[in-house]
Structure 1
Amino acid sequence: MNENILGIVAGVLTSISMIPQLIKVIREKNVEDISLVMLLILISGLSLWVWYGFKKEELPIILSNAFAVLVNISLLICYMLYRKS
């Protein structure tokens, strides 16, 4: 398998992995089972992958991880909106 195709497929799968969780949170408006620390660590790691992609000039790394950052920031926003004080 061509390594670019492999990278794109891996990037797409990891990027969309949190979408079902985001949809569930939006529908139920419940974030009790979401770990804030996990979200912050994940967003930090994904952001570093974006930076790494820029340093290596690898568009699949940049795009897939930037999309994942946006999905997880959306989840973080939902966390802040729906958490119980």
Structure 2
Amino acid sequence: MKSMIEGLRRAAERPRLMGEMMARLGVAPEGQDDPAADLALAQAARRCAGCGHEGACRSWLAETERAEHAPSFCANAGVLESLARR
């Protein structure tokens, strides 16, 4: 039961981490107004949910206020950087 609760906690935490990553990179999800961007963000959310780098992500977010590039371990680096340039 404890592992199930921990898994649920981690799953609930992922959207917050992704939101923080987007903020650091200057991605404004509400400003995209583009179905392709919506799809890209939905796919990014799924990748984030399955990511094995939660600890590294937390550390990077704690150390970084703004960035032009996502960290190399981020599976969503390309899509988030692309959305940030819009």
TM-score category, normalised to shorter length: 0.3 to 0.5
**Hey, which of these two has a bigger chunk of helix by percent?**
1
Higher alpha-carbon Rg: 1
What TM-score do you get using the length of structure 1 for normalisation?
0.36
- TM-score, normalization: structure 2? 0.35
